[in-house]
């Protein structure tokens, strides 16, 4: 009888772990989707800003940036006074544009 009870508890522990793992995986997927949406919105904002301020389209260059490079560019975006400065910064990020 004790063995049956022990197996019963082990089975419920296994079920609990599976439920927790599924819940964790779902939360990770949701967080990844939110992060990707944030990155896409950031890209769009940078592109619109450069078009408004410099009248230049940098969308092809932005799409080649990594997530970290996008946020780095966003940190410095308002410091650029001329398009050549922005272009040089992108080239420093190891991006070949134009």
H helical segments located in the chain: 2-54, 59-62, 67-76, 83-92
pLDDT number for residue 71:
87
Q: Measured in Å, how far apart are the chain's first and last C-alpha atoms? A: 77
Whether the CA torsion 61, 85, 92, 34 is positive or negative: it is: negative
Per-residue pLDDT tens digits of the chain, which is 98 residues long: 778 888 888 988 898 889 999 999 999 999 999 999 999 999 999 999 988 888 888 888 888 888 888 888 888 888 888 888 888 888 887 654 44
Q: Is the CB of residue 32 less than 8 Å from the CB of residue 69?
A: no
């Amino acid at each position: 009888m004790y063995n049956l009870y022990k197996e019963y508890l082990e089975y419920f522990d296994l079920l609990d772990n599976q439920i927790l793992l599924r819940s964790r995986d779902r939360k990770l997927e949701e967080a990844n989707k939110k992060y990707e949406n944030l990155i896409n919105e950031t890209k769009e904002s940078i592109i619109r800003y450069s078009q408004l301020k410099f009248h230049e389209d940098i969308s092809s260059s932005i799409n080649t940036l990594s997530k970290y490079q996008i946020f780095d560019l966003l940190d410095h975006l308002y410091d650029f006074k001329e398009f050549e400065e922005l272009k040089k910064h992108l080239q420093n990020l190891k991006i070949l544009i134009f």
